[in-house]
Amino acid sequence: MTASSRRKVELDPDTVERDLARLVLTVVELLRQLMERQALRRVEGGDLTEEQEERIGLTLMLLEDRMDLLRTRFGLEPEDLNLDLGPLGPLL
């Protein structure tokens, strides 16, 4: 096998789009979970007004709904967004 034939990568447009969507949605899901944890800490710490708590809750619910729609569009399950980081364990 020559060096040039080993470097060939067959790209299927459908696969590339799905894989890119999976990567982007994984990053968004990680950020969503971090925001949710931070919001819970702030609520438990009493740092937010009731209006702020409600607004954050609605925003997080909307983001989760949008994530569901995008996962469905690209044929992904929630567990598809969890990257295996080897010795560090799963990302999410």
pTM, full prediction: 0.71
**Rounded to whole angstroms, how far apart are CA atoms 49 and 57?**
12
- Alpha carbons within 13 angstroms on the beta-carbon side of residue 89 total 1
Which residues pair with residue 84 across a beta bridge?
90
- The percentage of the chain sitting over the pLDDT mark of 70, rounded to a whole number, equals 78
- What is the per-residue pLDDT across 44-68, written as a single tens digit (0 to 9) for each? 999 889 999 999 999 999 999 999 9
pLDDT of residue 85: 65
- Tell me if 92 sits within 8 A of 29, measured CB to CB: yes
pLDDT tens-place string over residues 16-34: 888 888 889 999 988 888 8
